[in-house]
């Protein structure tokens, strides 16, 4: 059976949102259930991109800089993130996840991994191998990809 790129794209558009909803739900419940989804996403983004300026957080979250600043302020007040002045430009700050924030994210990750492993335990070994190969193929396609026309 030959699968077209359009069929592959259709499956991605259908399955990935379901999977991400499940993962987000588990990550929040495992780490800090009192965090809002935007707070959790912000914490995870800054953890992956330590030292990010506020404008990058705003862009990632689809927020205005003032809204992103309010979101970050809440995480700072809870001791999950800090702002650090940039020595070369005092008007710009770098955002850094604290050890408390990293611990919350790590607990969330561990719990979510256990949940996903349990869900996948009912899948045959052959299908789990296919899943791993598919994820590796997707990683190679989307890692460092540049949008057309950019």
Q: Can you give the pLDDT at residue 24? A: 81
State the pLDDT confidence band at 37, using cuts at 50, 70 and 90: confident
Q: Looking at the domain that runs over 5-141, which CATH code has it been given?
A: 1.10.10.10
What is the C-alpha to C-alpha distance for residues 56 and 58, in angstroms, rounded to an integer?
A: 5
Q: In terms of Cα–Cα distance, which of 22, 26, 31, 24 is closest to 108? A: 31
For residue 136, is pLDDT > 60?
yes
pTM of structure: 0.72
CB 91 within 8 A of CB 14: no
Mean pLDDT of the chain: 89
For residue 90, is pLDDT > 70?
no
pLDDT digits (tens, 9 = 90+) for 93-118: 899 999 999 999 888 888 889 999 99
**Whole-number Cα distances in Å, 74 to 42, 57, 67, 68:** 11, 14, 11, 10
For residue 80, is pLDDT > 60?
yes
Which two tokens mark 108?
């969330």
């Amino acid at each position: 059976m030959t699968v077209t790129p359009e069929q592959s794209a259709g499956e991605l558009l259908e399955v990935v949102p379901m999977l991400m909803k499940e993962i987000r739900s588990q990550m929040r419940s495992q780490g800090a259930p009192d965090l809002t989804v935007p707070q959790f996403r912000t914490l995870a983004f800054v953890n992956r991109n330590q030292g990010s300026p506020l404008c990058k957080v705003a862009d990632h979250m689809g927020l205005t800089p003032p809204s992103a600043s309010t979101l970050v302020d809440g995480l700072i007040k809870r001791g999950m993130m800090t702002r650090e002045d940039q020595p070369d430009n005092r008007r710009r700050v770098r955002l850094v996840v604290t050890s408390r924030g990293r611990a919350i994210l790590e607990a969330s990750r561990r719990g979510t991994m256990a949940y996903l492993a349990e869900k996948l335990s009912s899948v045959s070994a052959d299908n789990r191998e296919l899943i791993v190969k598919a994820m590796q193929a997707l990683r190679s396609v989307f890692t460092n990809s540049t949008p057309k026309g950019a």
